[in-house]
Amino acid sequence: MSSICVTNVVAGVVAFGMSKEALKRIPEHKSAEHATQGLASNNLMPCAVRIAFHEAAIGAMDDDDAFKRMLLWRHSIGRFGTIE
């Protein structure tokens, strides 16, 4: 599982973005390696998922609505995902 962060560059999350980019590439390489066997590999790239990290970050912001909009601007569903 990777992240939507691989499709958009966001300041301040270089390590997170790079780790998710690496995870994005693994299924591509595995699919190429096993294509002759009829096997494929997929990758999930979820949007921002509402977890304690996001709750704490939102709560620490002066303008929590602006922060929510910043997190959600790249998600076509227009809302946070949930763990469920």
The chain-wide mean pLDDT, for the chain, equals: 80
**Same domain for 78 and 53?**
yes
**Same domain for 33 and 54?**
no
**Same domain for 62 and 26?**
no
**Same domain for 65 and 35?**
no
Tokens at residue 79, please?
A: 């809302």
**Same domain for 66 and 37?**
no
User: Rounded mean pLDDT of 31-58?
Assistant: 82
User: Rounded mean pLDDT of 14-35?
Assistant: 87
Q: What is the pLDDT of residues 53-84, one digit of tens each?
A: 777 777 777 777 777 777 777 777 778 887 77
Helix (H, G, I), strand (E, B) or coil at 35: helix
**Same domain for 33 and 51?**
no
Show the domain range for 40. Answer: 1-45
Reported residue count of the chain is 84
**Same domain for 41 and 54?**
no
What would you report as the CA-atom Rg of the chain, rounded to the nearest whole angstrom?
Answer: 16
| Residue 37 binned pLDDT confidence (cut-offs 50, 70, 90) | very high
**Same domain for 26 and 41?**
yes
